[in-house]
Amino acid sequence: MTIRLIVGLGNPGKGYQSYRHNVGFWFCEALAHLYTGHFKKEAKFLGEVAQINIPGCSVRLLKPTTFMNCSGQSIQSIANFYQINADEILVVHDELDISPGIAKIKSGGGHGGHNGLRDTIKALDTKAFHRLRIGIGHPDDKSQVANFVLHAPSKGELEKIQDALSDSLQVIEGMIKGNFDKVMKTLHTKE
């Protein structure tokens, strides 16, 4: 099993670029940069798409332009077109329940209140895709969550989030090749 599609969740537009909710976009942009891929708007996939070659594997990167809560439409359209199975998809998203500086990988599971994941599960009609969860921390008050994810992290938090993104990029080849146990060991022992 190899990963053929990596989806970064986020909201399109300059106004959202620096927000915590866009860490999925940040990861895909960094990955494209690392492997000299270039994003192009693809109307039929409701998103921006790049193609990269990671030793031995051709991988598509997707940044949906549907806004977070409708991410699934974009993912479903590209997965159907290229006949990509759910277990060949890695979705990268912000995670409130993990501290900044920590990244964790997970296969399957629920949406944990994340609307981008909720819509993806609904559109794909399965939970059987992989997730790279980038910790952004929690505002400690449930009523503040929407406001929290739609704001930029502090300078200190941003540095930690960038560390987590960097750690994740270092194990991307393992992720692509489906060596999740090894990747988990590397990422999850960082705490």
SS (H, E, C) 2-53: CCCEEEECCCCCHHHCCCHHHHHHHHHHHHHHHCCCCCEEEHHHCEEEEEEE
Tell me the catalytic residues.
21
Q: What local confidence, expressed as pLDDT, does residue 191 receive? A: 53
Distance CA 145, CA 38 (A): 33
C-alpha distance from residue 168 to each of 30, 63, 76, 142 (Å): 11, 18, 25, 28
Q: What local confidence, expressed as pLDDT, does residue 178 receive? A: 85
Q: What local confidence, expressed as pLDDT, does residue 115 receive? A: 94
| Residue of 153, 151, 104 lying closest to 130 (CA atoms) | 104
Residue with tokens 């332009």: 65
Structural domains of the chain, with CATH = 5-67+75-171 (3.40.50.1470)
pTM: 0.96
Q: What local confidence, expressed as pLDDT, does residue 190 receive? A: 65
Ranges of residues in the chain with a pLDDT under 50 are none
Q: What local confidence, expressed as pLDDT, does residue 53 receive? A: 94
Give the bridge partners for 51, in sequence order.
60
Q: What local confidence, expressed as pLDDT, does residue 184 receive? A: 87
Average pLDDT, the chain: 94
